[in-house]
Amino acid sequence: MAGELNVDTGGLRSGAASSEATAAGLTSGPSSGSTSMQPSAGGVTAVNAALSALQGRQSARITGQAGDMSTGAAAYARTDSDGSDAITSVEV
């Protein structure tokens, strides 16, 4: 069949779970509440704050993509099941 589509729903679900773990790792990083008196401490604190904000945005993005992968896997599985049921119910 031309344009045949094969989907590994287990692979999609596994990828989604892996992505969720990655997203969780981004937001659970160590918090640096430096109390250093060094002149560079303010700059380091600002960079750490920017990095934390970036990690939060990336985590949210990855979580959304993981959700989309899970939704896609469920939709493909449902479509395959419905198609299988339709073929089984055809009488010859």
Residue 64 has pLDDT above 90, yes or no: yes
Looking at residue 81, what is its pLDDT? 84
Across the chain, mean pLDDT equals 86
**pLDDT mean over 32-42:** 78
pLDDT digits (tens, 9 = 90+) for 66-89: 999 999 999 999 988 888 777 776
Q: What does the domain layout of the chain look like in residue ranges? A: 44-77
State the CB neighbour count (10 A cutoff) for residue 69. Answer: 21
pLDDT of residue 31: 63
Averaged pLDDT, 53-57: 95
In angstroms, the CA 32 to CA 26 distance is 14
Alpha helices in the chain (DSSP H): 9-27, 41-88
